[in-house]
């Protein structure tokens, strides 16, 4: 059998290394230098302080907007066996063109782009198996933007309903914002990580080694994100800020967080805290509400073929318009609701749990009823938090940000980057030499620290394990009696004696409300704690090691976490003084 390293080298050798770059981009952190003293390291961007954002003194100004980014051109198919996987030998697509309407269908407007051309214009859905084409649209996907400003300092945060968004593509959104002449100092791009929409990374195409990214959809998202930021900038107005938090385990007794989320990997550690913020206009209306909480939006699982943003669709709608049941209602707050996913590694999932909605009905199937129940329960918690939020006194906006490099040690990922399945430049390796431990390609990424009043946001470029943020190796964050801290049947349990001591990321954060923004500016895969990073001996990164080690197969390598933790600590501790 061919080894994984040999496989990646063979695949890379068959194709020209287009898009690769052996040079270090200007501004990226490569020094590893000290953070104090003469010639000390400094973030790439510091606001207030840098040219154009010299100060942040002044009243808080806030704008928000939501722009639809649902794909508008793809063809449908018939899933005969209901497994969500297209088999071209047994199943057929409907060659009806972009609008999915054929001659004889109600409302047929005539032939359109791609109709009856014999070519399947598929939207390949992301997050589970390959070859899962979309059949229709259940609800819209969105780019939802929040713009905050005080003095000369302006930060835009845009949340995209996609599985992930690479850093080089985040730069395209930032470039578009600047090209429109918008006075924004930093654009933070976030992916909600929903698993029921188009592939935006390349991993889930029609077959192995084939990208599933549709360039038209990618362009639509870039334009929609810039539109949302532009509309938010144009609507910015004086605002009062409220912020708070709620323990999502507390309302559910012994069931705890298992009422909402399951940690599928030992040790069972769940960040129970949901954070909220609300920005209110001078007339008392809500400009925007923001929710920060961590879980995979994958209620619909792998057999669904309808495009949807999953439970965030129902959660955001209920926060804006109210939670409505036959027996009671909870009033919404209006405005634009924005969901910022947090620590989803480990992994945090709704699969395998039963949701009990507000009227006591239980939902365990992977269907839209469960997604709606999840969204409504989360919305009620968020609305409860917002009702008790604390007004922030004279809130100001600040940001510090830096680029840095992350090595790609995963052999399979090396091949996918080098052959263009992942359409993204890689750096700092000799492309004329074989890849080995001394010649490892690297990714360029970015992390930010954003302060808005008492809220401090740390962006993380992937799927962070909660224990890296909060610890919990003593069982203090299991938050349920329905799961063992470590499954007694686990054949290869983690060695907790080797687990790291604090301070963990949230311990290092300032502000009253520490928000981890997962998949912020980038998606590099799972960020697995170093003490329990284990690879299969025969096919590392391809097969899982015994026990709970799926996440390693979808990570860039063991050195990613030390790089992220180091940059996080640098940004959090850095001060102009």
Task: Delimit the domains of the chain by residue range.
Answer: 4-69+140-573, 75-121
Alpha carbon distance 441, 125 (integer Å): 28
Structure token digits, residue 256: 């705890």
Residue 354 has phi, psi (to 5 degrees) of -110, 125
| Sequence-ordered list of residues with C-beta below 8 angstroms from that of 577, at least 6 positions apart, any chain | none
pTM over 0.85: yes
Alpha carbon distance 235, 350 (integer Å): 36
Q: Where are the alpha helices (DSSP H) in 55-110?
A: none
Q: Taking Cα atoms as reference points, which of 154, 145, 151, 219 lies closest to residue 183?
A: 154
In terms of phi and psi (left: phi > 0; alpha: psi -120 to 50; beta: otherwise), the region of 118 is left
Specify the 3-state DSSP secondary structure of 7: helix
Angle at CA of residue 54, ends 49 and 58, nearest 5°: 120
Pairing of strands 286-293, 323-324: unpaired
What's 356's DSSP letter?
E
Residue-by-residue pLDDT tens, the chain, 577 positions: 233 333 344 343 333 333 334 455 545 665 455 666 657 899 999 999 999 999 999 999 999 999 999 999 999 999 999 999 999 999 999 999 999 999 999 999 999 999 999 999 999 999 999 999 999 999 999 999 999 999 999 999 999 999 999 999 999 999 999 999 999 999 999 999 999 999 999 999 999 889 999 999 999 999 999 999 999 999 999 999 999 999 999 999 999 999 999 999 999 999 999 999 999 999 999 999 999 999 999 999 999 999 999 999 999 999 999 999 999 999 999 999 999 999 999 999 999 999 999 999 999 999 999 999 999 999 999 999 999 999 999 999 999 999 999 999 999 999 999 899 999 999 999 999 999 999 999 999 999 999 999 999 999 999 999 999 999 999 999 999 999 999 999 999 999 999 999 999 999 999 999 999 999 999 999 999 999 999 999 999 999 999 999 999 999 999 999 999 999 999 999 998 7
Q: Taking Cα atoms as reference points, which of 197, 195, 200 lies closest to residue 213?
A: 200
Alpha carbon distance 85, 83 (integer Å): 5
Structure token digits, residue 308: 């949807």
3-state helix, strand, coil in the chain (%, to 5): 20, 25, 55
Alpha carbon distance 392, 60 (integer Å): 11
Does 346 sit behind a cis peptide bond, omega within 30 degrees of 0 on the bond before it? no
């Amino acid at each position: 059998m061919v080894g994984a390293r040999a496989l990646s080298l063979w695949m890379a050798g068959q194709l020209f290394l287009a898009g690769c770059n052996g040079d270090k981009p200007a501004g990226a952190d490569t020094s590893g230098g000290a953070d104090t003293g003469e010639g000390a390291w400094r973030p790439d961007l510091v606001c207030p302080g840098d040219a154009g954002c010299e100060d942040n003194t002044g009243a808080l100004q806030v704008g928000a907007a939501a722009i639809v980014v649902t794909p508008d051109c793809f063809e449908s198919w018939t899933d005969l066996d209901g497994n969500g996987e297209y088999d071209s030998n047994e199943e057929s697509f409907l060659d009806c063109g972009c609008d999915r309407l054929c001659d004889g269908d109600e409302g047929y407007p005539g032939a359109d782009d791609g109709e009856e051309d014999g070519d399947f214009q598929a939207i390949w859905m992301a997050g589970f198996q390959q070859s899962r084409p979309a059949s229709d649209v259940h609800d819209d996907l969105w780019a939802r933007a929040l713009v905050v400003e005080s003095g000369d300092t302006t930060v835009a945060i845009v949340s995209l309903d996609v599985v992930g968004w690479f850093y080089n593509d985040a730069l395209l959104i930032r470039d578009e914002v600047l090209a429109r002449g918008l006075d924004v100092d930093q654009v933070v791009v976030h992916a909600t990580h929903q698993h029921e929409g188009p592939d935006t990374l390349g991993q889930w195409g029609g077959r192995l080694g084939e990208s599933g990214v549709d360039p038209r959809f990618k362009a639509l998202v870039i334009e929609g994100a810039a539109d949302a930021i532009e509309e938010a900038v144009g609507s910015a107005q004086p605002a009062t800020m409220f912020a708070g938090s709620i323990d999502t385990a507390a309302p559910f007794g012994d069931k705890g967080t298992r009422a909402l989320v399951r940690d599928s990997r030992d040790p069972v550690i769940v960040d129970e805290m949901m954070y909220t913020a609300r920005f209110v206009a001078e007339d008392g209306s809500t400009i925007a509400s923001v929710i920060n909480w961590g879980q995979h939006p994958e209620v619909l699982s792998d057999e669904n073929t309808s495009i949807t943003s999953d439970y965030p669709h129902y959660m955001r709608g209920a926060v804006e318009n109210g939670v409505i049941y036959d027996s009671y209602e909870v009033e919404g707050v209006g405005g634009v609701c924005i969901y910022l996913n947090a620590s989803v590694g480990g992994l945090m999932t709704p699969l395998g749990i039963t949701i009990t909605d507000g009227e006591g009905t239980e939902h365990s199937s992977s269907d839209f009823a469960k997604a709606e129940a999840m969204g409504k329960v989360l919305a009620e918690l968020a609305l409860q938090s917002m009702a008790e939020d604390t007004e922030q006194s004279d809130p100001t906006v600040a940001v510090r940000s830096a680029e840095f490099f992350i090595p790609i040690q995963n052999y399979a990922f090396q091949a996918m980057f080098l052959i263009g399945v992942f359409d993204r430049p890689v750096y700092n390796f000799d492309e004329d030499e074989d890849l080995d431990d001394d010649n490892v390609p690297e990714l360029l990424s970015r992390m930010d620290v954003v302060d808005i009043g008492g809220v401090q946001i740390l962006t993380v470029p992937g799927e962070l394990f909660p224990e890296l943020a909060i610890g919990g190796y003593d069982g203090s964050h299991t938050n349920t009696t329905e799961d063992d801290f470590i499954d007694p049947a686990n054949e290869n349990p983690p060695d907790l004696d080797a687990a790291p001591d604090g301070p963990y990321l949230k311990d290092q954060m300032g502000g009253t409300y520490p928000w981890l923004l997962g998949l912020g500016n980038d998606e590099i895969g799972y960020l697995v704690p170093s003490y329990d990073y284990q690879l299969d001996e025969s096919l590392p990164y391809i097969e899982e090691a015994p026990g709970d080690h799926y996440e390693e197969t979808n990570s860039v390598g063991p050195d990613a976490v030390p790089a992220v933790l180091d940059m996080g600590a640098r940004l959090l501790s850095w001060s102009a003084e």
